[in-house]
Structure 1
Amino acid sequence: MKLMLGILPFILALLAYMIASDMRLAENAGDKLLPSFSSIGEAIQRFAFEPSKRTGEILLWVDTASSLSRLAMGVGVSAVIGFFVGVACGVVPYVRANLSPFVRVLSMVPPIALLPILFIVFGLGEVSKVVLIVLGIAPFIARDVQQRVEELPHEQMIKAQTLGASTWQIIIRVVIPQVMPRLLNAVRLSLGPAWLFLIAAEAIASTDGLGYRIFLVRRYLDMETILPYVVWITLLAYLMDLGLKKTIRVAFPWFEGKRDDA
């Protein structure tokens, strides 16, 4: 029953699209805004299973590999930076006083507004796209991790210090084990913005990638290609989110239970 209730909105959305498409195509057989499912199927066959006549590559898989590699690098670097900065700001008062205000201000800067600067500084290659993702989500991850560290019971720190633990031992044995699930959860929440920044960068300056393909065919009003690409991006994002959620549940079962209690 729960599964059916979850699927129902998707079924209704497909039915609504099918009805609207049939109505528009009945009035104008050449309408490109809402192509029929058969036209979309033919487009999928063309770009997902047939080699390109120009390059000999299957476009969907080449674009997917390019986008996922950029996204993985950007999210990975952001997670590492956010983790270390967040832990340092949460544990060491001197670092918090100096670095926390900067991270807070940086998190307020719209990353898309920095895109022209990144292209000028780093060029139009892969680095600028990865840096855009890092600037967009690393401050958020750092602030989330810092908040988690500051929420840890102060008694744990006192007991560890009483037992002779150094700052590094407190970080490794007390802080990190409790912060890791929060880090993964912060990465989950940042996947949406990360995809947004990636698509924007690929649309402006790229020769491959999912965002590049969408903005390339938009000039021809090729909705038969755009719609499947959008659905594919959504599916990839959902699978990544689901994978991280399962990882947290398996590796840190106590974290989900603690959130439910809260």
Structure 2
Amino acid sequence: MKKLVNIEPNRSLKVFLAIIPFVIMLLIYWSASNERLAANPYDKLLPSFSQISAAIDRLAFTEDKRSGEYLFWVDSAASLYRIGLGVAISATMGLILGVLSGLLPTFRAGFSPLITIISLIPPMAVLPILFITFGLGELAKVMLIIIGTAPVIIRDIQNQVRQLPTEIMVKAQTLGASTWLLATRVVLPQIMPRLITAVRLSLGTAWLFLIAAEAIAAQEGLGYRIFLVRRYMSMDVILPYVMWITALAFAMDFSLRKLSELCFPWYHQQEAAK
């Protein structure tokens, strides 16, 4: 008889086990919502599924009377633009500065203490400074995402470069590789899948800073809409927006994971073998 620790569920069972918690959560919510609405039909804390559906229809599939826009999609496009730009810049900075810091001891000696200090500054503490410096436009929101995620990615890539086997570096230099070739032909291919992993781990933080920035100063965006309707206790709007943010974050993470598996299968084979 197999021990539980040695039982590996098949694909169908994995899907079934993954769905069960969500079904349980929906049933609990449905039961609690019905109970509260039965006691008070005007209760706003736990709206019914029909009320949530009506709110989605109003925001996503009905033109706003004042602007003539579909607010749900306008908010989604604005937030995706900001987080996409912020994460892309952070990933680029993380790759370039992380590789330089990990590969060049002189650069690391001067740069690493600075990036360590910056990574310890709470990004929300500098949000007022960003709004004063860059105004209330898109730049301040994107900068908050960059300040919150880039230093962490840089430090992670730096550590990953330093952990590469010394034998590979020595062999490449023995064969006549310059610093440039060492960086582009040896380090870069090894680091790219690790960069994608670092970006995936920073997505939750990036969304947190984006929602905070949009809540304080924005005219559109998912975070802006959530904090706009909270004064009316519009949980029928807040809940679907929160679920949509979660779905977008999951889609971004899933896409990055599949991209990594497609472009760097050798890396995932090594990870699976550990």
TM-score (norm 2): 0.94
Structure 2 equivalent of residue 84 of structure 1:
96
CA distance in 2, matches of 1:108, 1:232: 30
CA distance in 2, matches of 1:100, 1:247: 30
Structure 1 equivalent of residue 202 of structure 2:
190
CA deviations 1:63-120 (Å, max 9, x no partner) are 0000000001100100011111100010000011111111111111110111001001
Structure 2 equivalent of residue 219 of structure 1:
231
Structure 1 equivalent of residue 5 of structure 2:
none
CA distance in 2, matches of 1:234, 1:77: 22
- 223, 232, 248: which one aligns with 1:236: 248
1:252 Cα deviation (Å)? 0.5
Structure 2 equivalent of residue 16 of structure 1:
28
Structure 2 equivalent of residue 98 of structure 1:
110
1:180 aligns with 2:192: yes
CA distance in 2, matches of 1:261, 1:136: 33
Identity of aligned residues (%): 58
RMSD: 0.7
CA distance in 2, matches of 1:70, 1:183: 20
1:203 Cα deviation (Å)? 0.3
1:164 aligns with 2:171: no
1:258 Cα deviation (Å)? 1.7
CA distance in 2, matches of 1:254, 1:136: 31
Structure 2 equivalent of residue 202 of structure 1:
214
Q: Which amino acid aligns with 1:172?
A: T
Q: Which amino acid aligns with 2:85?
A: M
Count the aligned residue pairs.
262
Deviates more, 1:154-163 or 1:210-219: 154-163
Q: Which amino acid aligns with 1:196?
A: L
Structure 2 equivalent of residue 71 of structure 1:
83
CA distance in 2, matches of 1:261, 1:93: 32
CA deviations 1:16-45 (Å, max 9, x no partner) are 000110111111110000000011111111
Q: Which amino acid aligns with 2:148?
A: G
Structure 2 equivalent of residue 48 of structure 1:
60
TM-score (norm 1): 0.99
CA distance in 2, matches of 1:166, 1:211: 48
CA distance in 1, matches of 2:119, 2:270: 28
Structure 2 equivalent of residue 116 of structure 1:
128
1:261 Cα deviation (Å)? 2.9
Structure 2 unaligned runs (5+)?
1-12
Structure 1 unaligned runs (5+)?
none
1:132 Cα deviation (Å)? 0.3
